[in-house]
Structure 1
Amino acid sequence: MITLLAFVGALALLVVFHEYGHYWVARRCGVKVLRFSLGFGKVIYRKQFAVNGTEWVISAIPLGGYVKMLDEREGEVAAAELSMAFNRKPVLQRMAIVVAGPLANLLLAVLLYWVLFIHGLPGLKPVLGEVPTGTPAASAQMQAGETILSVNGVTIPSWQEMRWELMTLALQKDKVKIEAQSADGRHLTHLLDVSNLQADDLDGEFLD
């Protein structure tokens, strides 16, 4: 359910940016926008502001959206509003309005990548699952639920970081000091024997 809601939320964000790109450029070009809709199908919410007359709508099927503009090809247009019809605008302005949607999504992608670049992505916490017998972790008496705190003194914030440290230390064919915290909060120290790891093991799971 959470995955579905996340998908709908992400899709809604993309649609809003895409359609708002069309809307914003259309308004800058003097085109009257009749409706801005998030979703298709039956209208479940609508709001209209007197400033520009645009009707803002949320519809029942959240799988897209649209911006409806004043256009003589879609219905009769009052003489006083002909200058605001999409089809009456110069070709370059019409092209700009059409391209604005995809361009808005491109700008959103750049913004999101920039945010991820600045703040980074949270990695998976290095918490042990089931520890199979016969593995280096089992030999070191490591147990399920333990959170890895450090490897040879290097703080470990994520599985990726731990895997990288172990890959590096495995080349030295020695024992590795693992600082961990048990599920009930106790501080633990383990010596993990990586002396028998072969080159082919470096891409595998070290602890299970």
Structure 2
Amino acid sequence: MNPLGIFRSKFPPVKQVLSIMLAIILADFLFAYAFGQVVAALVIVFLIIIHEVGHWIPARMMGLSVKTFSVGFGKTIYQYPKPIWGTYFRLSSVPLGGYIVPDDDDMARAPIWKRAVFISGGPLMNLLCAVLITFFSYTLVGEPQAFKPTGSVIAELDSKITAAYDSGLRVGDEFVNIEGQRVFSAREVFNALLAHQSSPVAVDVKRGDQVISLKLDHDANGKLGLKGVRQKGYVPYAQVGVLTAAVDAVDKTAEATGATLEWLGKLLHIVPRSNEEQVNADQLQSLIGIVQTGGELFQSGLADFLAFAAIVSLSLGVLNFLPLPALDGGHLLFLAIEKMRGKAVSVMVQRWSSLGTIGLLLLVTFYAAYNDLIRLVGPHWAAPVTALLFCLLVRYTVPYSVRISVTRRLRRS
């Protein structure tokens, strides 16, 4: 008899208790040190599911059957026993997105326009989601304003390096001129001070209603002890009305879409770029880098994190519209060819071209993951961790029968 009375499996209670303890420790670690990254990952998964919802709703509204809607990839963990709107919903083992399985016969019989609407639904849902997230950000937090500094105020002086204090600077002083040059932003202040690091610096500061002229002397190491300068008079966000927020959200999303396409064009050398522009594959981020960035922006505040979510949703929409086999844009390309030729592209051509695209995307993904891991864990650990991630991906997404078949063929060869 099970002494705890709550475990009903082949494992002894001790192992299950240890598993629960490890899960609690892991959860505690994530909430303590990586809570922002966890939230960012959940947002990304949600946006991918929203993409699939964008396919599913138009399909059902047009009478096209959808057999399965899976949250996650790989093995099925749980499936709701009853279909919802003719579709079985399931939860799978790898929670990195989702997919739907339409009825092949229904799709083959459907007119081209219905299939085009079905395929376009996912990317369009992501673009709509980007607009909505931007709209909510503008209404809740405010609309970002152009950077217009009106002055720079000393926020903190170093208590150990007292050269600035000994020269007469005090917290709350506002910089007016440095060596006769008017300064407004914190960047201008630091650049001007660095330019005169080897000699005394003449500055004018405003203290209350008075302007005071000072001569700043550095210490023996060439330091002043100026720790913090904050911007004066800069309001980062402005409150706007609902209608203005809606119009500006659409405008900003369209502007960001154009910028994304332009960046992709420069990356692929389709769009010309200047000699100063650094656009290369090293700038690509994998899911690891995106989650890391999302976690950092989560710590920065609601507005920055909502902007991150909007950009991710926008990117999902734009990238899926690219005319590459296996992507939604590739399927639309096949439909356009079918419309012009009067007959569908052969299944074999679609299958092999899609496999080629998937292989290329996997190579790019793991290259980006490797670069992200170099930044996170260092060059020595990046390669083995990338290999481990590849093995886990194969283990939990490729069916067991396929893995066995490939292994046997490799052994025979």
Interval containing the TM-score (normalised by the shorter chain): 0.5 to 0.7
SS of 2:229's equivalent in the other structure is coil
Q: In the alignment, what sits opposite 2:262?
A: none
Contact kept in structure 1, 2:157 and 2:171, CA below 8 Å: no
Moved more, 102-111 or 12-21: 12-21
Give 1:96 shift. 0.3
Please list the CA deviations of residues 87-121 of structure 1 after superposition, one character each: whole Å capped at 9, or x if unmatched.
Answer: 21110000000000000000000000001111126
- 1:206 and 2:229 are equivalent in the alignment: yes
- 1:87 and 2:108 are equivalent in the alignment: yes
1:152-171 residue pairs with structure 2 within 5 A? none
- 1:71 and 2:92 are equivalent in the alignment: no
Q: In the alignment, what sits opposite 1:4?
A: 37
Q: Which runs of 5+ in 1 are unaligned?
A: 73-84, 122-128, 143-150, 153-162, 178-192, 198-203
Question: CA, structure 1 residues 51+62, in 2 after alignment: closer, same or farther (shift >3 Å)?
Answer: closer
Question: CA, structure 1 residues 67+141, in 2 after alignment: closer, same or farther (shift >3 Å)?
Answer: same
Count of paired positions: 146
Indicate which of 75, 78, 100 corresponds to 1:45: 78
Q: Which runs of 5+ in 2 are unaligned?
A: 1-33, 143-154, 175-184, 190-203, 216-226, 231-413
Identity %: 28
Give 1:196 shift. 6.0
Give 1:12 shift. 1.5
Q: In the alignment, what sits opposite 1:57?
A: 90
Question: CA, structure 1 residues 56+131, in 2 after alignment: closer, same or farther (shift >3 Å)?
Answer: farther
For 2:121 and 2:89, locate their aligned partners in 1 and report how far apart those are by CA, in whole Å.
19
Code of the residue aligned with 2:206 in structure 1: it is: D
Q: In the alignment, what sits opposite 1:175?
A: 207
For 2:127 and 2:61, locate their aligned partners in 1 and report how far apart those are by CA, in whole Å.
20
Which protein has the bigger helix share? 2
Please list the CA deviations of residues 138-184 of structure 1 after superposition, one character each: whole Å capped at 9, or x if unmatched.
Answer: 95469xxxxxxxx99xxxxxxxxxx89xx9xxxx841159xxxxxxx
Question: CA, structure 1 residues 51+10, in 2 after alignment: closer, same or farther (shift >3 Å)?
Answer: closer
Contact kept in structure 2, 1:48 and 1:54, CA below 8 Å: no
- 1:116 and 2:149 are equivalent in the alignment: no
> CA RMSD of the aligned region, Å?
3.9
**If the length of structure 1 is used for normalisation, what is the TM-score?**
0.57
Moved more, 19-28 or 43-52: 43-52
Higher relative contact order (CA 8 A, sep 6+): 2
1:186-205 residue pairs with structure 2 within 5 A? 205=228
For 1:47 and 1:111, locate their aligned partners in 2 and report how far apart those are by CA, in whole Å.
30
Q: In the alignment, what sits opposite 1:32?
A: 65
For 1:37 and 1:176, locate their aligned partners in 2 and report how far apart those are by CA, in whole Å.
64
Give 1:15 shift. 1.2
For 2:118 and 2:212, locate their aligned partners in 1 and report how far apart those are by CA, in whole Å.
61
SS of 1:10's equivalent in the other structure is helix
Question: CA, structure 1 residues 195+17, in 2 after alignment: closer, same or farther (shift >3 Å)?
Answer: farther
Give 1:205 shift. 4.7
SS of 2:42's equivalent in the other structure is helix
For 1:71 and 1:37, locate their aligned partners in 2 and report how far apart those are by CA, in whole Å.
17
Contact kept in structure 2, 1:35 and 1:57, CA below 8 Å: yes
SS of 1:35's equivalent in the other structure is strand
Moved more, 106-115 or 10-19: 10-19
Question: CA, structure 1 residues 105+176, in 2 after alignment: closer, same or farther (shift >3 Å)?
Answer: farther
